[in-house]
Amino acid sequence: MNQILGLFAGSNGEDVPTREVGPMKISQILVHPIKARLCRGTSVQQAKFTPQGLQYDREWCLIDPEKRKVLTAREIPKMVLITPTIETDPSSPDGGTLTVSFPLDSAIPSFEIPLRPSEATLSKWDVLDGLKIWSHTTDGYLVPASSSSSPSPSSILSEYTGRQVQLVYKGPAPRSCDPTQLFPGLDATVRYQDGYPWLVCSEEALEAVRAQVGEWAGREEGLRMGIEERWKSEKVPMERFRPNIVLSGSGVPFIEDSLEEISILPSKANGNASETPVSLVAKCPRCLLPNVDPQAGVRDKAVPFKVLMKFRTGIDPENMKTPCFGCNGVPHGEGLVCVGDEVSITKWIEAP
């Protein structure tokens, strides 16, 4: 059933007239086994979830062994060309394997690690404390060298990146999410996500960004900004924004900006006993990382960041000068989420 959207703050801070909102569904689910700011994500038809996020999502990361800092593709853009592949095996105590492969022209060999290391496996791995991720510190299990003569995963990754790195799996210590202006009492934990369990975006928002990019590509000012002619026809892919859940069907660009809570409805596909509320706790401020092409590993001079700066600032009260795209989400409960699941709006953000 369609829902009616009242006045809400638009991208320029002004009220947008009342309009009808179409029925929303989940159109895409993306899982990023190795922290999303590093390696490619995997598009899946369904995924289990808990309040900490999607199964297998952001459970691994790379660190600088000296600074004990979690690395991102901002430091090493070609990291986005690394492809983790999930291979489940219910008979395995580790749930299967995660195969990590590299571009063919790199001549770097692929390797396998446990998909979900068992307690027996983790008991043999060292725990590293004090890993820095933004303003937080966390921990991780260090993937050990192989008992055979083959190179370790960390050494293979170091060879590819041209610098010393270590591969770690999220350790046992809980990592709390920061409270937000909308949810000052937020009680949630994450693994190696930037800050929150889910990132929720909409196809309508992406289409609005694509339209703006195309317009700026056709202007002289756009060329001065570094927006190349190719962007008149080339489309910015959703993968650049590295979401977990993509919504479609509302017909309203950036509908997620106006929502405080959505619910994933039970379906034959997900088999959930009841609907799952998902709090959209904060807007997602954007850095230059979406400028990195996930297919080429090269950073664009302007797209989409400079375009977002033109019409997507002033959206988040906590980051007024930073452009936003998508919202951070916290699911309440656990279950299965599937492409095609219907999503209802259960709470709007109240107008100030």
Peptide bond into 304 cis (omega under 30): yes
Q: Which value, to the nearest 10 degrees, does the dihedral of the CA atoms of residues 172, 60, 161, 106 take?
A: 150
HSE of 266, CA atoms in CB hemisphere, 13 A: 6
CB 69, CB 76: distance < 8 Å: no
Calpha distance 164→160 (Å, rounded): 10
CB 53, CB 342: distance < 8 Å: no
Q: Is 225 helix (H, G, I), strand (E, B) or coil?
A: helix
Calpha distance 260→350 (Å, rounded): 9
Residues in the chain: 352
Name residue 113's beta-bridge partners. Answer: 98
Q: Could you give phi then psi for residue 202, rounded to 5 degrees?
A: -125, 150
Calpha distance 8→257 (Å, rounded): 9
Q: What is the predicted pLDDT for the residue at 69?
A: 95
Q: Buried b vs exposed e over 219-231: b needs ≥16 C-beta within 10 Å?
A: eeebeebebeeeb
Q: What is the predicted pLDDT for the residue at 351?
A: 52
DSSP for 161-210, written as a single string: HTS--EEEEE-SS-EEPPP-SS-TT---EESSSSSSSEEEEEHHHHHHHH
Secondary element (H or E) of residue 235: none
Which residues are within 8 A (CB) of 274 and not within 5 positions of it... i.e. 6 or more apart? Answer: 266
Which residues are within 8 A (CB) of 305 and not within 5 positions of it... i.e. 6 or more apart? Answer: 286, 287, 288, 290, 291, 323
Calpha distance 182→196 (Å, rounded): 14
Secondary element (H or E) of residue 310: helix 305-311
The radius of gyration of the chain's CA atoms, rounded to the nearest angstrom, is 21
Q: Is 221 helix (H, G, I), strand (E, B) or coil?
A: helix
Q: Would you give the DSSP letter of residue 125?
A: S
Phi-psi region of 312 (alpha: psi -120 to 50; beta: other; left: phi over 0): alpha
Q: What is the predicted pLDDT for the residue at 49?
A: 98
10-residue mean pLDDT profile of the chain (352 residues): values are 45 50 97 82 96 97 95 84 95 97 94 96 96 94 80 95 96 96 96 96 98 95 95 96 97 97 98 98 95 88 97 94 98 98 94 46
Calpha distance 145→152 (Å, rounded): 4
Name residue 280's beta-bridge partners. Answer: 329
Calpha distance 246→73 (Å, rounded): 22
* Domains held by the chain: number: 1
Q: What is the predicted pLDDT for the residue at 17?
A: 44
Q: Is 313 helix (H, G, I), strand (E, B) or coil?
A: coil
The model's pTM:
0.92
CATH of the domain at 126: 2.40.33.20
Which residue range forms the structural domain that includes residue 68? 3-348
Angle, alpha carbons 199-253-181 (nearest 5°): 50
Strands (E), 6-126: 8-9, 15-16, 19-21, 24-31, 42-44, 46-50, 53-54, 60-64, 69-70, 83-88, 96-101, 111-114
Q: What is the predicted pLDDT for the residue at 350?
A: 76
